[in-house]
Each structure stands twice: as C-alpha cells, then as structure tokens.
Amino acid sequence: MGAILVIDDEPGIRATVKDILEDEGYRALTAEDGYAGLDLLRVESVDVVILDVWLPKMGGIDVLKAIKADHPAVETIVVSGHASIDMAVSAVKLGAFDFIEKPLSIERLITAVRNARALSDLRLENARLKRTKAEGDDIIGVSAKMTEVRELIDQSARSDARVLVTGENGTGKELAARRIHELSARSGGPFVAVNCAAMPDTLIESELFGHEKGSFTDAVARRKGKFETAHTGTLFLDEIADMSLSAQSKVLRAIQEMRFERLGGEQTIEVDVRVVAATNKDLRQEIAAGRFREDLFFRLNVIPLRMPALRERVEDIPALADFFLERLAGQPRRRLSRGALEVLSAYAWPGNVRELKNFMERVSVMSDEDEISAETVEHFIARSDGKAPEVAPDRLDTLSDLRLAEAREAFERGFLVHNLRKHGYNIAKTAESIGVYPSNLHAKIKKFGIEAGE
C-alpha cells in the first residue's frame, strides 16, 4: 500500500494532516512546495496526494498537471481556502479527484482519502485487466456526427495523408489520432506524441529534431528527436498552434522534405513519418493574427477532422457514461437510472468527454448505489460545476415582491434558521455544513437576531 503525500506550505497543516492520516493507519509524507512534492513522487510509492491549490513557487494547478502527466495512477485531493474555490473547481475539471475547503474537516478528509484510494486501486486493477484483454481504444458514440468521424478516421487510415484534428479540450483529438495510426498500415511502427504547448520554445526544436552532444548548455549527451523516434510510424504533433514561428518553419521544412539535421549536427537524417497534428485553437484566426504560418497550415490540413463538442451530440452521453462506468466498476455491474441519464444529458460539459470521464469515475467511487440515482448525479454535478444551484420557481414566489437586497436577506435568514435547526443549533456543525467559519456564523446570527429554538 502506497503512501499519502501532503503538499502544503503551512507547517501547521502539514503536521496536523500527517497526524490524522497516521492515526488512520496510513503512511504519510509531507512536502512544503510543488517541487519538493514532485521530487518525492519520483522516488516514493504514493497513492494519493493532498494538495494545497495556493502554493508559493509552482502553483497548485501546475503541480496537479505535472502529477497527472507523470503519475497517472496517483489520485489528487485539492485543498483550498474559500478565496481560491474557483481554482479548486478547475482542478477537479483537470482530473483532481475531489476538493476540500479549509478549515479542514477531519471526517471529510478521511472520507476523501479513502475514496481516492479506492479509485486508484480500481485503476490499477483495470490496467491489469486491460493488459490481459489487450483491448483497443474504442471510440464510443452513436450520434450521426460520431458516425461521420469514425468514417473519416477509417478513410484517413487507408492513406498516408496528413490529418489535422481540431476540436475543443477533451473531445477526443488524441484518441482519434491514435485510432488512425492503429488502423493504418503503419500500425506496426511507433506512435509518438509531442505536446508542443508543454515545451519551452528553446527545447521544442531539440525535442523534435534531436541534438548532438554539447550543442547547447544542457545537451550533455546526443539525443534522438521525435521525428527520428517516429520513423516508420506516426508523429502526433499536439497543440500545434502553440509552437513558435521559428519552430514552425523548421517543422514545415522537415515535413516537406522528410529530412533534417539534429541541433548542432551536420549529418542530414532522412525519415519516413506520417504526421497527424491537433489543436483546440482556430488556426485561421491564428494565421490572421500572424501567429501561425499559412503554408504550414495548408501542409497539415490535408484531411481536416473536426471532433464535435459533447454538447453537439447529447445522444452520445448515455453510451459514454455507461462505457466509463462499466470500465471502472467491474463486478457487479452498476447502472445509471433514467433520471441520472437525464441529468447528465442536461449538463453542458464544457470539458467534453474528458470531464464526463472524470465525473463518472468520481461518482462511481463516491456512491455505493447499484443503480446510480438522479440525486447523486445532481449532487456531484453541482459540486464540480461551481455554479449556484437553481432555486425552483415556486420557492421564489414568496420573495418576488421584495427588492434584491431584501430578498437576499430574507433568504439568508431562512436558510440559516433551517440549517441551525437541522443541526440542533450546534454552531460548529452548522458552520461546517454550510461552508462558513463559526465566527462568521455567529456574526450572522447576531445580525439577523436569530434565537436558539426558533
């Protein structure tokens, strides 16, 4: 069983959380910033990271991205103060397992850790099953739009033409690129992905074309570039719009001639590579703004493949949700109720399929219902979406004659009385359940003249 790593810049929080975790029988490690945390992850076996979003040096969101990229089996629980709640919500969209608000509730913390561990176990088990089953990367979707996408993928796979995949974040651009490779005559060769956005400008050329020893300060050894590694296979240039203009001109030359030199090298290297590129930006707009070379665009855009946003193909949501649930849940099979599917279909999914996938993973470990209900889905959607839940119109009737400030106060008072009553007028419990500090709740009780037993 792996350890739990706490990354937080406040020594008090590190010590307290470590104690709590150790009392629960976990092995706990601590780090005071993102760099120290990532160093630990490289050498220790860690299942779950508890990460403060607000960190000095490297911000929590960047730490999360690095964890997701380099340690995909590790689950992250994000901790945030009230002021950084938006960041915590974005973290969940990026694949954080859950977020907890400060002040930390011990119970919430322990439940989150337990659930996150359950998910990382499931993931490991799944990876094991996948290896034994050798299942391909299925592209799920019954909509006319996805049928078209699949046809275009099949067609592209039959040729060696360059493909430009476009679409919003999380729509399946990389999945499509892999599928094209798998179905093509090059499937015996490598599929090599390069994320052009994740690399500093100075490194991208050495990443793509390789370098000779000593060609620049950090080049301690000779290194092959991705163009060379992809020889006989497919090179996937991801986030192509984020490449500098100078890198663009080198890529243009390389794909035209299939020949290039390593950085600091003399020898010309010839390769046989198919290029598939992807972007979530509008390249025509980038061209107009002078940020993208038009000639490179025409070279890359031989077959345009547009991945539709999930909200344009709502009819795919049930099949996708089922697919992610089934892949995770194992035996016994769990189902989504009709109502749950309706709630899923009504949501806009700004993070597209990736957001739906993360969401299903979270729901499947956070709920133990055999048939997942609409209420459960609603509860977790409301939490990850960051928007205020809508109040039913009939509840608003009584407030509709008031001015906004009066209505807000009337609502707040009623809401507080209701929740205080629910918790037997226990200030600490009520404050926690509605997400405010006890001192804040005290002040409001005074302001509204609420009396115990009201």
Ligand X SMILES: Nc1ncnc2c1ncn2[C@@H]1O[C@H](COP(=O)(O)OP(=O)(O)OP(=O)(O)O)[C@@H](O)[C@H]1O
Q: Does 385 bind Mg ion (CB under 5 A)?
A: no
Q: Which is nearer to Mg ion, 174 or 205 (CB)?
A: 174
- Binder among 76, 115, 171, 248 for ligand X (CB under 6 A): 171
Q: Does 150 bind ligand X (CB under 6 A)?
A: no
Q: Which is nearer to ligand X, 280 or 430 (CB)?
A: 280
Q: Does 169 bind ligand X (CB under 6 A)?
A: yes
Give the x-and-dash track for 277-316 against ligand X (CB under 6 A): ---x------------------------------------
Q: Does 52 bind Mg ion (CB under 5 A)?
A: no
Residue 139 interacting entry, from Mg ion, ligand X, none, C-beta within 5 to 8 Å by type: ligand X
Minimum distance, C-beta of residue 137 to ligand X, in the bound complex (Å) = 6
- Binder among 32, 174, 212, 242 for Mg ion (CB under 5 A): 174
Q: Does 104 bind ligand X (CB under 6 A)?
A: no
Residue 84 interacting entry, from ligand X, Mg ion, none, C-beta within 5 to 8 Å by type: none
Q: Does 353 bind ligand X (CB under 6 A)?
A: yes
Q: Which is nearer to Mg ion, 78 or 276 (CB)?
A: 276
Q: Does 179 bind ligand X (CB under 6 A)?
A: no
Q: Does 210 bind ligand X (CB under 6 A)?
A: no
Q: Does 141 bind ligand X (CB under 6 A)?
A: yes
3-state secondary structure the chain: CCEEEEECCCHHHHHHHHHHHHHCCCCEEEECCHHHHHHHHHHCCEEEEEEECCCCCCCHHHHHHHHHHHCCCCEEEEEECHHHHHHHHHHHHCCCCEEEECCCCHHHHHHHHHHHHHHHHHHHHHHHHHHHHCCCCCCCCCCHHHHHHHHHHHHHHCCCCCEEEECCCCCCHHHHHHHHHHHCCCCCCCEEEEECCCCCHHHHHHHHHEECCCCCCCCCCCEECHHHHCCCCEEEEECHHHCCHHHHHHHHHHHHHCEEECECCCCEEECCCEEEEEECCCHHHHHHCCCCCHHHHHHHCCEEEECCCHHHCHHHHHHHHHHHHHHHHCCCCCEECHHHHHHHHHCCCCCHHHHHHHHHHHHHHHCCCCEECHHHHHHHHHHHHCCCCCCCHHHHHHHCCCCHHHHHHHHHHHHHHHHHHHCCCCHHHHHHHHCCCHHHHHHHHHHHCCCCCC
Q: Does 101 bind Mg ion (CB under 5 A)?
A: no
Q: Does 250 bind ligand X (CB under 6 A)?
A: no
Minimum distance, C-beta of residue 280 to Mg ion, in the bound complex (Å) = 8
Q: Which is nearer to ligand X, 138 or 370 (CB)?
A: 138
Applying CB under 5 A, the residues found at the interface with Mg ion are: 174
